Structure 1
């Protein structure tokens, strides 16, 4: 009995996997969702588990704009709109915070920054 039931179970499993595969394909670059190039995430800063600040680039050519958005579980708010900024590679001197603090404590043990 189990040998005649096995092909039927495989058929049901494949039928259940088709919607899952289509759902995953829609949400990946392979599905063409990112092919339009009209919008991309530039940066994201998590503030809490369900709050973050996101910078998104929208438009093409001279119509490109960066939107700074406040994102919560209930809403998305535009905080600022600005022209696209030149993107640079991460600075070679960018150190983790702990190393920057150690360097400052060694260099300026008692003074404030005069920049």
Structure 2
């Protein structure tokens, strides 16, 4: 009798251990399991300027209220450089045909690449 009680406890323990991955999988698919701070926000692009500085384009909001924010990010602060309507996702330029940073920044500010020189 003692053997069957020990086997039942061992079986119950194994069932609980087997349910942990299932519970984690289900939790990731619920709103409670998602990171609430990233809801309605996504990173569109990031451009490193140095080891500690970068420019990041972030999409915030949903529907008609969607906006792209161009942010300057340093270890000590985050500054909004520009706000604009969402753009069509452009294909990445080829490695040998990279767009100079001044041209990209000029386009983001509403000026053509001719003014960015």
Other-structure match for 2:80:
78
Report the counterpart of residue 55 of structure 2 in structure 1.
53
* CA distance 1:35–1:78, shift in 2 (3 Å): closer
RMSD of Structure 2 on Structure 1 (CA): 2.4
Runs of 5+ consecutive residues of structure 2 not aligned to the other structure:
1-23, 98-117
Give distance in 2, aligned partners of 1:68 and 1:36: 17
Q: Secondary structure at the match of 1:48?
A: coil
Q: Which runs of 4+ in 1 moved over 3 A?
A: 34-37
Segments of structure 1 that go 5 or more residues without pairing to the other structure are 1-24, 101-115
What are the Cα deviations for residues 53-93 of structure 1, in whole angstroms up to 9, with x where unaligned? 00000000000000000000000000000000011444xxx
Moved more, 65-74 or 36-45: 36-45
Residues 1-115 of structure 1: pairs in structure 2 closer than 5 A: 30=28, 31-33=33-35, 37-90=39-92, 94-97=93-96
Distance verdict in 2 for CA 1:71–1:64, change over 3 Å:
same
In the alignment of these two chains, the number of paired residues is 67
